[in-house]
Amino acid sequence: MGTESIDIKHIARVEGHGSLYVTTKDGELVDVKMAVDEGARLFEAFLQGREYTEVPEIACRICAICSASHRVVSTKAVEKAMGIEVDQQVTDLRRLLIWGEYIESHILHALYLALPDYVGHESVISAAADFPDVVKIALKLKKLGNDLQILTGGREVHQVTPMIGGFSAYPSHQDLEVLRERLQDARSDLQVCLDVWAGLEEPQFERETDYFALRRDDEYALVGGDLASLSGVRAPVEDYKKYIGERIPEYSFAKAGIRDGHGIFVGALARLNINRDLLSPFAKSALKTLGIDLPSYNTFHNNAAQLIETAQVFDMADATISSLLSSDLEWHEPETTPKAGKGTAMTEAPRGSLVHSYEFNKNGLLKTADIIAPTTMNYTNMEEDVRALFPQIAGGSKESIELMLNRLIRAYDPCISCSCHVAKVR
């Protein structure tokens, strides 16, 4: 035996470029390094000096997969900094946009990127031949999510309509009705996916860690609310820095989230754990179908959690559309004036908590930006999970170890392009 290394260059089926380097000695784990190979883009730096109206448009280009979340949270941070209020219609439209993103992103991740592992395929492309029906349903659901984003945001990736103070265009009542019907019809499709997932076997791997997510008392928190942890933290989002620290691994372009020297976990499983008392009817039944006990400390459950959240979002989207249908949807030009100020907003992107925090001068030009994306927050935790899982799989062949490590990382739904422009070190 002796020193051996397992290098997973380019972790596949994730967004962006990441690599995992594991060093072992005599079968024992010595070192784990996850490296983000993505080129550094320096968003927080070049945002400086840009006008407040274009900050969200620029910031959403950090990551396409969560562009809607970035867009909305960035917009909110700007609005907070300038004291801009929006009406219920605008709030609803933003929520609906986010629901669309959830459906699209969760289906993409759970069914296109993670599922192939469970059914012994290298990709959804090869799986399509063996499971054409599931793949077709997945495509249909994903499209539904995208169509919600198109309806509210103008485009499925990097939306065009959201603006500071409102939207540049509103959907019509008729378009909303159509989508509501499609959502209704798609429930059975989602149920098929849940049933399929229920038949899969998740790897047994438990490791309790610090789960963080938003929490509000009136609904399952995906937008709005306080920062909360399963261990009982509850604080206004402005205090995020107290709980989420960052380190800069010298082997990576990305910064890594850290709290008291260990990792934190954000994402679907964290949300489900923290908000498990607020599940909607469809989500409750989904939870039951999948037979997961909450709280769960099995990272691999994150994918199942995504499907449960999809069911949750189906119910929330239905409610939001009802609310929108009862408003006039009469478009009006959002008019805003710049003001000096600071604003921090946090949201739950599909893959976890996302913070944007800005400061503007009196002309509305950005002075400083601090952006922490979910994958950054999860970074340390991923490495810790690798350490914890390793002994469990160490006996297998190199291929099987590699596959399990890949699967573990993929379970996080990491978005590596996102994680490379993270907050300042403190």
Partner 1 sequence: MGDNGKPSVGIFGLTGCAGCQLNILNIEDHLLDILNLVDITTWVMAKQENSEGPWDVAFVEGSVAKKSEIERVKKIREKSGVLVAIGACATHGGLPGLRNFRDISEMTQIVYGENNDHIDAIPIKPVSAYVDVDYELPGCPMEKTEFLEIVKSLVMGKRPYSAQYSVCGECKALENICLLKEGKFCMGPVTQAGCNALCPSNGAVCEGCRGPAPEANWAAEVKILKKIGATPEDVRRKFLKYCPSVAEMPEFKELEF
Binding of residue 396 to partner 1 (CB under 8 A)? no
**Stretch binding partner 1 (CB under 8 A), from 43-51, 90-98, 175-183, 291-299:** 43-51
**Stretch binding partner 1 (CB under 8 A), from 89-97, 248-256, 260-268, 307-315:** 248-256
Binding of residue 348 to partner 1 (CB under 8 A)? no
* 3-class DSSP state of 251: coil
By beta-carbon proximity to partner 1, the closer residue of 158 and 339 is 158
Q: What is the DSSP string of 297-331?
A: --TTHHHHHHHHHHHHHHHHHHHHHHHHHTS----
Task: Please state, in angstroms and rounded to a whole number, the distance separating the CA atoms of residues 343 and 398.
Answer: 48
By beta-carbon proximity to partner 1, the closer residue of 61 and 342 is 61
Of 4, 27, 30, 39, the one binding partner 1 (CB under 8 A) is 39
**Residue count, binding to partner 1 (CB under 8 A):** 67
Task: Please state, in angstroms and rounded to a whole number, the distance separating the CA atoms of residues 385 and 374.
Answer: 16
**Stretch binding partner 1 (CB under 8 A), from 50-58, 75-83, 178-186, 345-353:** 50-58
Task: Please state, in angstroms and rounded to a whole number, the distance separating the CA atoms of residues 284 and 280.
Answer: 6
Binding of residue 58 to partner 1 (CB under 8 A)? yes
Of 30, 40, 235, 325, the one binding partner 1 (CB under 8 A) is 40
Of 251, 322, 325, 400, the one binding partner 1 (CB under 8 A) is 251
Q: Show the site string, 277-306: x = touches partner 1 by CB under 8 A, - = not.
A: ------------------------------
Task: Please state, in angstroms and rounded to a whole number, the distance separating the CA atoms of residues 100 and 159.
Answer: 12
Task: Please state, in angstroms and rounded to a whole number, the distance separating the CA atoms of residues 419 and 373.
Answer: 6
Q: 160: which 2 tokens? A: 């065009």
Binding of residue 330 to partner 1 (CB under 8 A)? no
Beta bridge partners of 167: 162
Whether the CB-CB separation of 73 and 374 falls below 8 Å is answered with: no
Of 56, 116, 245, 414, the one binding partner 1 (CB under 8 A) is 116
Of 24, 67, 289, 299, the one binding partner 1 (CB under 8 A) is 67
The torsion angle over the Cα atoms of residues 190, 192, 193 and 196, rounded to 10 degrees, is: 160
Q: What does DSSP say about strands 234-235 and 166-167: parallel, antiparallel, or unpaired?
A: unpaired
- C-alpha neighbours within 13 Å on the C-beta side of residue 376: 28
CB of 424 to partner 1, least distance (A): 7
Binding of residue 101 to partner 1 (CB under 8 A)? no
Of 61, 241, 339, 367, the one binding partner 1 (CB under 8 A) is 61
* 3-class DSSP state of 128: helix
Farthest CA pair distance, the chain: 72
Of 68, 97, 110, 124, the one binding partner 1 (CB under 8 A) is 124
Binding of residue 15 to partner 1 (CB under 8 A)? yes
* 3-class DSSP state of 25: strand
By beta-carbon proximity to partner 1, the closer residue of 14 and 307 is 14
By beta-carbon proximity to partner 1, the closer residue of 44 and 202 is 44
CB of 150 to partner 1, least distance (A): 10
* 3-class DSSP state of 6: strand
Binding of residue 80 to partner 1 (CB under 8 A)? no
Nearest to 281 by CA among 347, 214, 220, 225: 220
Helices (H), 244-373: 268-274, 281-290, 301-325
Task: Please state, in angstroms and rounded to a whole number, the distance separating the CA atoms of residues 409 and 20.
Answer: 9
Binding of residue 44 to partner 1 (CB under 8 A)? yes
Of 7, 28, 45, 288, the one binding partner 1 (CB under 8 A) is 45
Burial class (CB in 10 A: 0-12, 13-18, 19+), 256: buried
First to last CA, the chain: 42
CB of 134 to partner 1, least distance (A): 13
370 φ/ψ angles, rounded to the nearest 5 degrees: -135, 120
Binding of residue 128 to partner 1 (CB under 8 A)? yes
CB of 221 to partner 1, least distance (A): 26
By beta-carbon proximity to partner 1, the closer residue of 179 and 230 is 179
Site for partner 1, rule CB under 8 A: 10, 12-17, 38-46, 48, 50, 57-58, 61-65, 67, 108, 112-113, 116, 122-125, 128, 135-136, 139-140, 142-143, 146, 154-158, 160-161, 163, 167-169, 248, 250-253, 255, 331, 406, 415, 417, 421-422, 424-425
